[in-house]
Chain A
Amino acid sequence: MNRFLLPLGLFIVLAVFLAIGLNRDPREVPSPLVGKPAPDFVVPQVDTGKNFSPKDMLGQVWLLNVWSTWCVTCRIEHPLLVAAAKKGGLPPVVGLSYKEVRGDMNADASELPPDGELALARQRAANWLARHGDPYLLSALDVDGRVGIDYGVYGVPETYLIDKTGTIRYKQIGAITAESLEKTILPLAKELEK
């Protein structure tokens, strides 16, 4: 009897390890930025000639939602944000349009002058928001993806929950789902609000 127990035990341990491994999403790399101050940046806004910097949001709990019009998953996420913003209870969301023109395989940014790329990105983001609804407090443009690198963005959409002191508290990799919103983001935001 005993000589079967050992292999059986080893098998169970191995099976448990493999089962855990299979159920983890390798795309979700824990961000080292959680618990650290949100990197500073200054970028132009979509609708106005003004700039946006995360410093403008100090004293508030807010979400930084990185998106783009060419990102397929963003189209799934977007209606959820629009609905949540309409319903209320969602912290203010700042949209960051990520590499709107040069990230799009169907658009050619290489021919455009830098100003032209910014203008085109602005126009494309604004049109998209007009058509699909605008859940954002304001939208900013990360035309060349530099801000994305500082925030460790490796695939849009990604969303950061930032507290009153400007510290990143949570990072959602991939689309926000109804579940992650209800179970993680909103409760955490409420707690940080205190």
Chain B
Amino acid sequence: MKTAAALFVCLLLAGSAFAKEAAPLAQDPATEKRMIDITSELRCLVCQNESLAASQAELANDLREEVRKLIKQGKTDDEVKDYLVVRYGDFVLYRPPVKSTTWLLWGGPFLLLAVGIAALIAYLRRRSGRVAVTAELSEEDKKRAEALLKEPQ
């Protein structure tokens, strides 16, 4: 069902750019494994919520084929990723690089954490201040409290 839905979305998005599956070039399991390792970290541009490894979009087929070729040419994983980034941008990477445009993306959660901790500290300080004030009893209050405690049950 999920696959059918994904296929349908792909069809819609691809503007009918869809065709039968290309015959896999690599019969060699090592290449295939590396290809899958690399493409699982990459986003398919046609079905944006699918990885390049999982997508059935035609472009994903072409790109997997391209990755196989690059692996056979002896390219490293990073070189293969760069090849795709040069063409499709950082958007294809599920782990975007840390740079000036993405610092908020990477740092944002820590920033929120810092804000949360600061708010918590401020709240706790305010509360302990309040407790300290109410803890001071006057002589009269103390006597009254003692009297109450001594009272038979």
Tell me the chain B residues, 87-126 only, with Cβ under 8 Å from chain A: 87-91
Stretch at the interface among A29-37, A82-90, A131-139, A159-167: A29-37
Give how many A residues have a beta carbon under 8 Å from the other chain's beta carbons: 26
Interface positions of A from 106 to 120, Cβ below 8 Å from B? 108, 110
B contact residues, range: 20 to 34
Complex contact B17–A152 (CB within 8 A): no
Q: Given A26-B48, A103-B58, A155-B46, do A71 and B16 touch, yes or no (CB 8 Å)? A: yes
Closest B residue to A105 by CB, please name it. Answer: B19
Q: Are B19 and A154 touching (Cβ within 8 A)?
A: no
Q: Interface of chain A, helix or strand or loop or mixed?
A: loop
B54: Cβ under 8 A from any A Cβ: no
**A31 B89 Cβ-Cβ under 8 A:** yes
B58's nearest neighbour on chain A, judged by CB, is: A103
Q: Looking at the complex, which of B26-34, B59-67, B140-148 is the stretch in contact with chain A?
A: B59-67
B20 partner residues in chain A, CB cutoff 8 A: 105, 108, 110
Please report the C-alpha to C-alpha distance between residue A99 and residue B87 in the assembled complex, in whole angstroms: 18
- Contact (Cβ within 8 A) A149 B16: no
B residues touching A (Cβ–Cβ < 8 Å)? 13-20, 23, 45-46, 48, 58-59, 62-63, 66, 85-91
